[in-house]
Amino acid sequence: MRSSSMFSYNLSLAMQSFKRAPTLYFLIMLTLSIGVGVLCANLALVNSMASDPIPEKSNKLIHISMNTWPGDQPPDEPMHILRYRDAMKIAESGIPKRSAVFYASGVYARDSESTSMKRFDSAVRATTPGFFELTNAPFAYGSAFEKSRGMEVVIGDELNQKIFAGVNSVGKTLELDGELLTIVGVLKPWILRPLFYHATEGRAFNLTDDIYAPLETAIDLGWSIHARSSSADNYAGVEETRDKNAYYLQAWVELDNVNQRSAMQSYLDSYSQELKDAGEHPLTTRNELHNVSEWLTAKKVVDQKVLAFTLASVLFLSVCIFNASSLLLSRFHAAKFEVGLRRAIGASNRHMLIQGLTESALLGLFTGLVALVLSWLFLKLSVQFLPRLANIAVLEPKLLVLGMLLALVTSIASALYPLYRANRYTISAELK
Amino acid sequence: MLKMNNISRIYQSDTIQTHALRDFSLNVKAGEFVAVTGPSGSGKSTFLNVAGLLDNFDRGQYELDGVSVQGLKDDELSRLRNEKIGFIFQNYNLIPDYSIFDNVDMPLRYRGFSASERKRRVEEALEKVGLTSRFKYLPSQLSGGQQQRVAIARALAGEPKILLADEPTGNLDSLMARQVMEILHDLNKGGATIIMVTHDPDQAREVNRNVQVIDGQLADFKVYAPLDRSAETKGKTISAAVNEEMADA
């Protein structure tokens, strides 16, 4: 009862203090808000870049890189793209719980029943069916296709919105580059940040795909490769690549447990050795397995410039705290008489400290709100200058909470020295 | 009520050591109205600050209402100030943007009283100084005398054991000063112990006892009370008076 009464009294004193020097407190709030806002905006970028997109099983999802290049000029590192037969060997190994072999493509899509001839440029993931369970793709309607061959597709929410206004489109037919494929599943809005299954070629922050098509069908239809590929052989179209030394498929496996990783490694190494023994490549066996986190780190998904700028933001915030502290010091100096009076009539140093901290906390709350608005503006501004940040310049709820906490901490931190000074004088000196 | 024995207060700067109080001893009994006089810089205010626990002292013993204040922590000193002492300052020291009610209410907030108890005490205190109808006024809407009466009400609201007044009429014209002094005398008649620092010899003569401070010490002076001067006290020196008080204590 007593403490709640003191708390409300301290809150009212804080409000009175703000009213007495609104310009000064506005400056303090603005100073801290800019510091917190800039840092928060940077943390939002780092958070998007560094977060685990699939935390429930990221350590069991393994990306496979191999070196089976048969040519004279082998790459320095194992390649993250595989040729068809190597990828199929992985899928058929029987070791992982499930696997996904895919490549990125693109088609123009329209509703086959529509009278409009408008087509939508759509990103395609040509994949084996295991992709959906492996990535925990969320279905709104229908389900995944069950085989790697068939005139069926799964579409993403955005395309479903564009073509079918978001209604259940399962059973409808899409015309994709002149071919008719039936929709068997529609995904919910699906954000993978980073897009771990395709973190290469600067695509780590792309949106998830519009269309997911069976791998064999996409190859049969000759849907071109829209990502990095390398080939030691000539071929006219992707449909000819199955038995060529054409490297364009990425392979992920999901293990039952992390212990299976060594079994997978042995299997791949043994396979590579067989190829080498058969004279198919001259390279030292070197196959690499990376879980999601290792893969994102290896691909340097977190932009070092953003990290450096975040560090600079921390320093900038320190300067803001220092400035706010100076302003508060002048404010507390001006309020010296009242501090002295309150202490004279019975307030202890502890009372005055709590009163000061309450004021700082309230200021921190206001600062937090302004900082989050500024942070949002900074992110919008960043996207204007650097459009590639569009998909990662997002203030997630945890960032909002962090922003508020940062504002509270910085506000209190900036008040600590002024409070310490204010309570050091003898009361008689304060009253003079 | 207040016992000071050989209190010294020394202010130290880089090069100068100033003895604001030097072996200062004083005993004030409950119900006394003591005037402390002396020239500027003599140590009157330092005495009042030490007595009111607003300043530390370097040597000596000080007992307030039976509590030895040496070695008390800040929280304990604050509680003593809040519960046992009422301050009346020359400049009133009211918070200008607080209402009269809020100014008087201030010390009660730190005592942890309920809202209803605080309201009762504030109303009673303002009634004692004749300002019951001005709860919502701001200090700037009152005359100097009225502001000082608010300050007295603030000092009284906590029902302290002792009132310490630092030149309470120093900023007032003679009429208002008279009103304030009458309130203080009424309070004293009601049993309040009051120590008042003043420059005004007439005011000093009105009270039970006059103590003169010179160079941080009690001066060797004659104790007199013009309104009721008795043969018993007439002509006594301060040393004799102090010795007698100590013996009484």
Question: Does position A399 have pLDDT exceeding 70, yes or no?
Answer: yes
For chain A, give the percent of residues with pLDDT over 70: 99
Measured CA to CA in angstroms, residue A153 lies from A47, A87, A172, A183, A200 at distances of 33, 21, 10, 5, 24
What pLDDT is recorded for position A2? 60
Closest Cα partner for A62 from A249, A297, A290, A268? A290
Hey, is the C-beta of B57 within 8 angstroms of any chain A C-beta? no
pLDDT tens digits, one per residue of B109-162 = 999 899 999 999 999 999 988 888 888 899 999 998 899 999 999 998 988 989
Question: Given pLDDT bands bounded at 50, 70 and 90, which one contains residue B224?
Answer: very low
pLDDT tens digits, one per residue of A232-289 = 888 999 999 999 999 999 999 999 988 889 999 999 999 999 998 888 888 888 899 9
Write the DSSP string, A108-142: EEEETT-S----EEEEEEEE-THHHHHTTPPEEEE
What pLDDT is recorded for position A367? 96
Residues A191, A419: Cα–Cα separation, whole Å: 46
At A415, list the tokens: 């008040």
Q: Taking CB atoms and an 8 Å limit, are B79 and A6 in contact across chains?
A: no
Question: Does position A390 have pLDDT exceeding 70, yes or no?
Answer: yes
Interior angle at CA A391, CA A386 and CA A396, nearest 5:
115
What pLDDT is recorded for position B246? 47
At A195, list the tokens: 């897009």
What pLDDT is recorded for position A70? 86
Q: Tell me the sheet residues that pair with A249.
A: A82
Residues B193, A62: Cα–Cα separation, whole Å: 86
Helix (H) or strand (E) holding A6, with range, is helix A2-20
Q: How many Å lie between the alpha carbon of A304 and the closest alpha carbon of chain B?
A: 52
Nearest to B109 among A9, A338, A343 (CB): A9
Q: What is the mean pLDDT of chain A?
A: 91
What pLDDT is recorded for position B133? 85
Interior angle at CA A82, CA A80 and CA A85, nearest 5:
160
Q: How many Å lie between the alpha carbon of A53 and the closest alpha carbon of chain B?
A: 53
Q: How many Å lie between the alpha carbon of A400 and the closest alpha carbon of chain B?
A: 36
Task: Find chain B residues with C-beta within 8 A of A344's C-beta.
Answer: 52, 54, 81, 87, 93
| Amino acid in the structure at residue A293 | S
Q: Tell me the sheet residues that pair with A214.
A: A127
pLDDT tens digits, one per residue of A305-326 = 888 999 999 999 999 999 999 9
Residues A206, A196: Cα–Cα separation, whole Å: 10
Beta-sheet pairing, B2-12 with B193-197: unpaired
Residues A36, A408: Cα–Cα separation, whole Å: 10
Question: Does position B235 have pLDDT exceeding 60, yes or no?
Answer: no
Residues A306, A47: Cα–Cα separation, whole Å: 11
Interior angle at CA A83, CA A255 and CA A204, nearest 5:
60
Task: Find chain A residues with C-beta within 8 A of B87's C-beta.
Answer: 344-345
Q: How many Å lie between the alpha carbon of A136 and the closest alpha carbon of chain B?
A: 58
Q: How many Å lie between the alpha carbon of B11 and the closest alpha carbon of chain A?
A: 12
Task: Find chain B residues with C-beta within 8 A of A338's C-beta.
Answer: 95
Q: Taking CB atoms and an 8 Å limit, are A345 and B79 in contact across chains?
A: no
Q: What is the mean pLDDT of chain B?
A: 85
Of residues B12 and A83, more confidence is placed in A83
Q: Tell me the sheet residues that pair with A186.
A: A141, A155
Q: How many Å lie between the alpha carbon of B203 and the closest alpha carbon of chain A?
A: 24
At A383, list the tokens: 């996207």
Burial of A329 (0-12, 13-18, 19+ CB in 10 A): middle
User: Which A residues in the span 341-370 are in contact with B, Cβ-Cβ below 8 Å?
Assistant: 341-351
| Amino acid in the structure at residue A118 | K
Hey, is the C-beta of B11 within 8 angstroms of any chain A C-beta? no
**Positive or negative: CA dihedral A172, A175, A180, A186:** negative
Nearest to A345 among B45, B107, B115 (CB): B107
Task: Find chain A residues with C-beta within 8 A of B81's C-beta.
Answer: 343-346
Q: How many Å lie between the alpha carbon of A327 and the closest alpha carbon of chain B?
A: 22
Residues A28, A18: Cα–Cα separation, whole Å: 11
Hey, is the C-beta of B96 within 8 angstroms of any chain A C-beta? no
What pLDDT is recorded for position A25? 95
Q: Taking CB atoms and an 8 Å limit, are B95 and A348 in contact across chains?
A: no
pLDDT tens digits, one per residue of A157-179 = 999 999 999 999 999 999 999 99
Q: Taking CB atoms and an 8 Å limit, are A338 and B87 in contact across chains?
A: no
Q: Tell me the sheet residues that pair with A66.
A: A79
Closest Cα partner for A56 from A112, A139, A133? A133
Cβ atoms of A371 and A33 within 8 Å: the answer is yes
Tokens 């004749």 -> residue: B130
pLDDT tens digits, one per residue of B146-202 = 999 999 999 989 889 899 999 998 888 888 889 889 989 988 998 889 999 998 888
What pLDDT is recorded for position A19? 93
Q: How many contacts (CB atoms, under 8 Å) link A and B?
A: 70
Nearest to B87 among A19, A345, A350 (CB): A345
Q: Taking CB atoms and an 8 Å limit, are A346 and B82 in contact across chains?
A: yes
At B18, list the tokens: 């100033």
Cβ atoms of B205 and B222 within 8 Å: the answer is no
Question: Does position A46 have pLDDT exceeding 60, yes or no?
Answer: yes
Question: Does position B36 have pLDDT exceeding 90, yes or no?
Answer: yes
Question: Does position B228 have pLDDT exceeding 90, yes or no?
Answer: no
Residues A144, A142: Cα–Cα separation, whole Å: 7
What pLDDT is recorded for position B244? 54
**SS3 sequence of chain B:** CEEEEEEEEEEECCCCEEEEEEEEEEEECCCCEEEEECCCCCCHHHHHHHHCCCCCCCEEEEEECCEECCCCCHHHHHHHHHHHEEEECCCCCCCCCCCHHHHHHHHHHCCCCCHHHHHHHHHHHHHHCCCHHHCCCCHHHCCHHHHHHHHHHHHHHCCCCEEEEECCCCCCCHHHHHHHHHHHHHHHHCCCEEEEECCCHHHHHHCCEEEEEECCEECCCCCCCHHHCCCCCCCCCHHHHHHHHHHHC
Residues B64, B68: Cα–Cα separation, whole Å: 6
Cβ atoms of B63 and B246 within 8 Å: the answer is no
At B131, list the tokens: 């300002």
Residues A50-86 as b or e (16 or more Cβ within 10 Å = b): beebbeeebbbbbbbbbbbbeeeebeeebbbbbbbeb
What pLDDT is recorded for position B238? 46
Cβ atoms of A173 and A164 within 8 Å: the answer is no
Closest Cα partner for A120 from A166, A174, A169? A174
At A163, list the tokens: 């073509």
**Cβ-defined contacts of A311-318 (< 8 Å, 24+):** A313/A35, A313/A38, A313/A39, A313/A42, A314/A39, A316/A35, A316/A38, A316/A39, A317/A35, A317/A36, A317/A38, A317/A39, A317/A406, A317/A410
Mutation site for B-interface testing, chosen from A345, A353, A424 by largest number of B Cβ within 10 Å: A345
* Mean pLDDT value of segment A401-410: 94
Residues B186-216 as b or e (16 or more Cβ within 10 Å = b): ebbeeebbbbbbbebeebbebbbbbbbbbeb
Nearest to A349 among B54, B55, B74 (CB): B74
At A243, list the tokens: 């038995």
Q: Taking CB atoms and an 8 Å limit, are B110 and A351 in contact across chains?
A: yes
Residues A138, B31: Cα–Cα separation, whole Å: 85
Nearest to B54 among A1, A19, A344 (CB): A344
Q: How many Å lie between the alpha carbon of B225 and the closest alpha carbon of chain A?
A: 31
What pLDDT is recorded for position B227? 47
Q: Taking CB atoms and an 8 Å limit, are B154 and A349 in contact across chains?
A: no
Residues A396-419 as b or e (16 or more Cβ within 10 Å = b): eeebbebbbebbbebbbbbbbbbb
* pTM tops 0.90, yes or no: no
Residues B130, A136: Cα–Cα separation, whole Å: 79
Nearest to A347 among B52, B110, B154 (CB): B110
* Mean pLDDT value of segment A122-131: 96
At B111, list the tokens: 């005592």
Hey, is the C-beta of B93 within 8 angstroms of any chain A C-beta? yes
